[in-house]
Amino acid sequence: MAKVITFSNQKGGVAKTTSAVMTVGNLVNRGYKVLLIDTDPQANATDFVAPHCDGTRSIYSVITGQHPVEEVIVHTEEFGDVLPSSSQLYNDEILSSNPFAIKEIIDAVRNSYDYIVIDTPPNLGKVQIADILASEYLVIPTKATRESVKGIQMLIDTIYQYLEYNPSMEIVGILVTMSDKRVLAVRENMKFIKQLAESIEVAVFSNWIRAAQALVGEAELFHTNVFARKARNKAKDDYDGFVSELLHRIERMEGKV
Ligand SMILES: Nc1ncnc2c1ncn2[C@@H]1O[C@H](COP(=O)(O)OP(=O)(O)O)[C@@H](O)[C@H]1O
Ligand SMILES: [Mg+2]
């Protein structure tokens, strides 16, 4: 039975998509069966891992009953299975009558996977809420800037509002992305992040993701799973450390260790 891991933050540009795709690539490389669900109408994750998708079959067409999910999931060599998104999902009214639509899609396929990873859109609209209702383990990527930190409180407030309808969901932690510990402003802003995290009783992953334009940019451009390649890179190493920590924390939350 798959565990459902969601990368969520209403801010754009904090590496939600990159973290979701890197996590999927890493889990696939570890030998797990993984499904990536793209729920952002911008479809950046879809473009990264399955660039041939043209949007005619997508999570939108599953929610609206045009296609069964099995006919929409795309099998990729590098990143496992993908449920693509499409710009049609900007019409999020389709979730008004059933905010559990994404959970229902997951329930229909969860027996086939070890992990299901959800990439979310950069706002707190109906899709984000449907994602929260479908999630088991939430990761909040953020940059270590003062501005990025501000949004976290708002996100947590929204999450708590919906926890009533999905009480078993756990916030696994805050993942600091694109941040180099050697930069003074990063270290200073980390103090704010840790303070905030402590006050809301949320963990901060000890593995930070450093900025590494070459790796992320090239991987995106060439649609490659960096974990299946020999090339060494700091962001690749950081994501490997993060995934180990993520799996360990999940096991701990399940009471296994
Ligand atoms: N560790 C990193 N180093 C350098 N660039 C990164 C890193 N992570 C993400 N990026 C780049 O930052 C931009 C925003 O990342 P993205 O994952 O699309 O954020 P989001 O999904 O939160 O909007 C993208 O251009 C991406 O390639
Ligand atoms: Mg994104």
Ligand closest to the CA atom of residue 85: 2
Between CA 148 and CA 237 the distance in angstroms is 24
Q: Which domains does the chain have, with CATH numbers?
A: 3-253 (3.40.50.300)
- What are the tens digits of pLDDT across the range 56-68? 999 999 999 999 9
Helices 146-163 and 126-134 cross at an angle (nearest 10°) of: 60
Of 248, 243, 206, give the one whose Cα is nearest residue 225.
243
pLDDT (mean) for 205-211:
94
Parallel, antiparallel or unpaired: strands 137-143 and 170-177: parallel
pLDDT at 221 > cutoff 90:
no
Ligand closest to the CA atom of residue 176: 1
CA atoms within 13 A on the CB side of 4: 25
Ligand closest to the CA atom of residue 213: 1
Sign of CA dihedral 171, 114, 131, 246: positive
Position 148 confidence tier, pLDDT thresholds 50, 70, 90? confident
pLDDT cut 90: percent of the chain above it: 83
Two tokens, residue 115: 């992990």
pLDDT (mean) for 134-148:
94
For ligand 1, atom 16: residue with the closest CA? 15
pLDDT at 231 > cutoff 90:
no
CA atoms within 13 A on the CB side of 91: 8
CA of 197 to the centre of ligand 2 (A): 23
Q: Where are the beta strands (DSSP E) in 13-136?
A: 34-38, 74-76, 80-83, 115-119
Which atom in ligand 1 lies closest to the alpha carbon of residue 212?
Answer: 3
Residue that the structure tokens 């990063």 belong to = 186
- If one residue of 6, 7, 17, 18 were mutated to test the ligand 1 pocket, choosing by the most ligand atoms within 8 A of its CB, it would be 18
Position 239 confidence tier, pLDDT thresholds 50, 70, 90? very high
Parallel, antiparallel or unpaired: strands 80-83 and 74-76: antiparallel
pLDDT of residue 230: 86
Helix then strand count (H, E) for the chain reads 9, 7
- What are the tens digits of pLDDT across the range 32-53? 999 999 999 999 999 999 999 9
pLDDT at 181 > cutoff 90:
no
Pocket of ligand 1 (CB under 6 A): 12-18, 44, 122, 177-178, 209, 211-213, 216-217, 220, 235
pLDDT at 166 > cutoff 80:
yes
Q: Where are the beta strands (DSSP E) in 147-243?
A: 170-177
